[in-house]
A = this chain, B = another copy of it.
Amino acid sequence: MRPSAKPPSTKAAAKPRRRASAAPAPRPYHHGDLRRVLIDAALQLVGEGGPDAVSVREAARRAGVSPGAPFRHFPNRAALMNAVAEEAQRRFRAEIEAVLAEAPTSDPLARFRCLGLAYLRWAMKNPTHFEIISSRRFFDHDMTAGVSQDNAELIDLTGRTLAEAFAQGQLRSSDLKQVQIAGRALVYGFARMNIDGHFPRWGVADAEIERTAEGILDLLIEGIAKVPGKSP
């Protein structure tokens, strides 16, 4: 199939000193941890130009490696994206849980609010990374157990928090699943409006976004909270 066969190795001679003098180490033949470096490069690309800006070749270029090398570590581009999504999801979850750890334990509804706020803030600060973990377009959920699991546990966490709030009589509605989905739709929608560039069309300046985020979250909380002086 391949027409031209290559002459058998002039490489050893062509390659200069091997980690000898103080020169910036001309990279040994084997990279060390290319997989990790590729994921980092891809993460960086996502941060720079969004998920579409990730190309296997560019990641390879940044890793200082040939265009075919990445395919030793990832069967295809999607697999690389999966790894990137996994990393992003890990960071996302870590932040959410860190924030929640500092929330008041005695007021579940306030904790629920904290969850929403942490979600929104992370999405605002890391729009491109948020995008990658949100849209299945960029990776294969079935192929990426890590993302799905992290996600499921976050869903569980909010579900439990909501259940506690209900148990303490803080909610008007008893259809917790509905409430939870509404809450998720609200914060996810807001985050995506930001990512998708809707806010300029809504006359919301960048500086106002975080305040607006908090505002709509409070609107939700008020909407689902039981009015103190009123029994169902």
Which residues of A does B touch, CB under 8 Å? Answer: 50, 52, 134-137, 141, 148, 151-152, 155, 172-173, 175, 178-179, 181-182, 184-190, 192-193, 195-198, 201-202, 204, 212, 215-216, 219-220, 222-224, 227, 229-230
Q: Which residue of B136, B148, B229 contacts A196 across the interface (Cβ within 8 Å)?
A: B136
Q: Give the complex CA separation of A178 and B203 in angstroms.
A: 12
24 A-B residue pairings within 8 Å (CB atoms): A52-B137, A134-B192, A134-B196, A136-B197, A152-B201, A155-B202, A173-B219, A175-B215, A178-B212, A178-B216, A179-B219, A182-B186, A182-B215, A184-B193, A185-B185, A185-B187, A185-B189, A185-B193, A186-B189, A188-B193, A188-B198, A219-B224, A220-B223, A223-B223
How near does chain B come to A66, taking the closest CB pair, in angstroms? 27
Which residue of chain B has the shortest Cβ distance to A194 in the bound complex? B185
Q: Are B134 and A216 in contact (CB under 8 A)?
A: no
The answer to whether residues A188 and B182 also contact, given A151-B201, A227-B227, A227-B230 and a CB cut-off of 8 A, is no
Which residues of B sit under 8 angstroms from A193, Cβ to Cβ?
184-185, 188
Which residues of B sit under 8 angstroms from A184, Cβ to Cβ?
189, 193, 202
Q: Are B188 and A148 in contact (CB under 8 A)?
A: no
Tally of this chain's copies: 2
Q: Are A50 and B182 in contact (CB under 8 A)?
A: no
Q: Are B186 and A185 in contact (CB under 8 A)?
A: yes
The answer to whether residues A185 and B190 also contact, given A135-B196, A136-B196, A230-B227 and a CB cut-off of 8 A, is yes
**Given A175-B215, A181-B204, A182-B219, 20 additional A-B pairs, CB 8 A:** A50-B137, A134-B192, A135-B196, A137-B196, A141-B201, A151-B201, A178-B212, A181-B190, A181-B215, A182-B216, A182-B220, A185-B185, A185-B190, A185-B193, A188-B189, A189-B190, A219-B224, A227-B227, A227-B230, A230-B230
Which residue of chain B has the shortest Cβ distance to A196 in the bound complex? B135
